[in-house]
Structure 1
């Protein structure tokens, strides 16, 4: 189980077919969930589209030590498009690698990126301005209509959601009661119990910070965090470090993902040590998106791959391998996922427009007043 760090431009370490794709391709018609699409007639487009499709992503999507969808996605996509070869790329700096190349005017020899979030888009727009890294694509995908409206995060429709995680608390019920609200975490009962991650470095840390701002407001969140620190909250640099400390019993509460019990069930762990806590009945949604590079030399195959990622078959499989919630309304992840993956009653998140011009200032103030003290 491995999660990503956050990237910002300039930092090395921070966590289609023309028109609309034919509706008969890439699982636009529903397939039996037990067949995986076997026996579906290949369309002319599927038979003719070919070449090497270079898809960049974060390494855990391809080679996580627990489970990853990369191998399955390559196998199934190449099965649907027998003249195509999917080649995964996992640059060390993830999308930041491409932001830097575009800013420097260096060519990009990649077709698709998988693993974008709203922070990445803001960084892209702030750092490279009028230079186009990704091209609007949503309207060209026949399966886009199945994407849940609440997960769409790019007003320019460059990034198309393919899954989402909900940031929550994971707690050990053998040692601590469930903290039911943000305010509860500041009480003596929960002193020295919480581990969270650095909002400048980890996706989970930034999401938890934004969740607290959403709850307390931009004018009061720093006061809230001062109360958390007075209650001996621990901030670690990465999700890996935080979850490892939690797993080792150093503290009984950690900021993590609401799908934690899926992993726990697979390893036969004590489920009481993997309870999910949604503060104020909420969880912070962190949808992940995919996009087509503006300079791709294989645009039709790129569109076909993006549409495949939104197909019922892929959307039903990705959650079981990436252990995140599907982004579409027709996915059927199966009984294990339905039982152990927990979704909040009230998902909350910030939109692109709400974050642009604000998020960096919020994080910088937090870093200056909270993380460094």
Structure 2
């Protein structure tokens, strides 16, 4: 039998509904909580990796479709600037993964304690010589050689590092700051290894005066070169391949220094403190798959670490150094900081 509610109870219920409507702006919300929201992976990287022409816009959507997740990409200048941001956020990390820390910044990253080791299930596909981090905190994904790219229609190339001090190259080339730029740091270390510490500081005192500018990043150096400010800039041995492929220019060539070229290897790693460990591990594995590796040559303009990755014909214009220099793996973060302090003194002199 249906019973009628007492009048005082009906009044109380009506008042409760009225208050609830007032608190909700007069609207009711019957939408259930979203229990199926996609997880988000936050990735830190340098500007050019996620530029319109970089690999980011191609590889990140592929990973999103595979993991049924969202990738939140945050760029912060060049490699050194990305690493500095990770160090500043160490006690309250915002990133899950970092992409683009190379062998020149390895000691700084390890000493800062911002990464956690992970051995990718695909790591055995990578040649041993390219596995630059014995701790497993950084997984290699590409490599290349840092050198100068020059416009052969405007200038003849130097044959050695010392040739750059020739008056004919005065204000004809653009360097990059080794404190913030990864190719800048690689080239700086190349000069120290090739010339020795004592001679290197004298060399840089003179070299800095010869240069048109010392750009804070590769992007800014490349912009100055492209705008015609100087006919030579610090870049990569593979850069001529880009100009052939996309600008149909064969006059932009790379220098093969007689002292040799230092090999740069870039890696990705999991940020210590991430709450998305499994998702981060899946991304590291993804960087060593054909879907990721095959995109690198014509977006990153570096050699992929997987030997069977596809290489375009334009890479025939890339310089293969007659002598390859390997970064000293015993170099500590303290050594690097000491060198950079001496570099600062040299260029200010």
Separation of aligned partners in 2, 1:110 and 1:254: 32
Larger Cα-atom Rg: 2
Name stretches of at least 5 consecutive residues in structure 1 with no aligned partner: 1-49
- CA deviations over 1:111-146 (Å, ceiling 9, x no partner): 2221112344433444x4xxx4221112xx221012
- CA deviations over 1:298-338 (Å, ceiling 9, x no partner): 322322221111013321222222222212222123333x3
Do the aligned partners of 2:172 and 2:232 also contact (CA within 8 Å) in 1?
A: yes
Indicate which of 97, 107, 113 corresponds to 2:85: 97
Do the aligned partners of 1:196 and 1:205 also contact (CA within 8 Å) in 2?
A: yes
Separation of aligned partners in 1, 2:286 and 2:110: 27
Indicate which of 114, 119, 128 corresponds to 1:133: 114
User: 1:362 is paired with a residue of what secondary structure?
Assistant: helix
- TM normalised by structure 2 equals 0.78
Alignment of 1:316 onto 2:297: no
Indicate which of 211, 218, 234 corresponds to 2:190: 211
Alignment of 1:223 onto 2:207: no
- CA deviations over 1:133-176 (Å, ceiling 9, x no partner): 221112xx221012232322223110011112321111121222
Separation of aligned partners in 1, 2:302 and 2:168: 32
User: 1:55 is paired with a residue of what secondary structure?
Assistant: strand
Cα distance change, pair 109–237 in 1 and its aligned pair in 2 (3 A): closer
- Structure 2 equivalent of residue 80 of structure 1: 66
- Structure 2 equivalent of residue 327 of structure 1: 305
Separation of aligned partners in 2, 1:334 and 1:135: 35
The Cα shift of 1:229 comes to: 5.0
- The size of the alignment, in residue pairs, is 307
Alignment of 1:339 onto 2:323: no
Separation of aligned partners in 2, 1:75 and 1:240: 24
Separation of aligned partners in 1, 2:208 and 2:97: 41
Alignment of 1:54 onto 2:42: yes
- TM normalised by structure 1 equals 0.74
Cα distance change, pair 310–125 in 1 and its aligned pair in 2 (3 A): closer
**Cα root mean square deviation, aligned:** 2.5
- CA deviations over 1:46-88 (Å, ceiling 9, x no partner): xxxx8433333223222x14x122222123223333xx21312
- CA deviations over 1:20-70 (Å, ceiling 9, x no partner): xxxxxxxxxxxxxxxxxxxxxxxxxxxxxx8433333223222x14x1222
Cα distance change, pair 295–201 in 1 and its aligned pair in 2 (3 A): closer
Indicate which of 244, 248, 257 corresponds to 1:279: 257
User: 1:206 is paired with a residue of what secondary structure?
Assistant: helix
After superposition, where does 1:172-183 map in structure 2 within 5 Å?
172-183=151-162
User: 1:332 is paired with a residue of what secondary structure?
Assistant: coil
The Cα shift of 1:280 comes to: 1.1
- Structure 2 equivalent of residue 25 of structure 1: none
Do the aligned partners of 1:198 and 1:235 also contact (CA within 8 Å) in 2?
A: no
Cα distance change, pair 111–251 in 1 and its aligned pair in 2 (3 A): closer
Comparing 303-312 with 111-120, which one deviates more in the overlay? 111-120
After superposition, where does 1:117-266 map in structure 2 within 5 Å?
117-126=102-111, 128=112, 132-138=113-119, 141-228=120-207, 232-238=210-216, 239-266=218-245
Alignment of 1:367 onto 2:344: yes
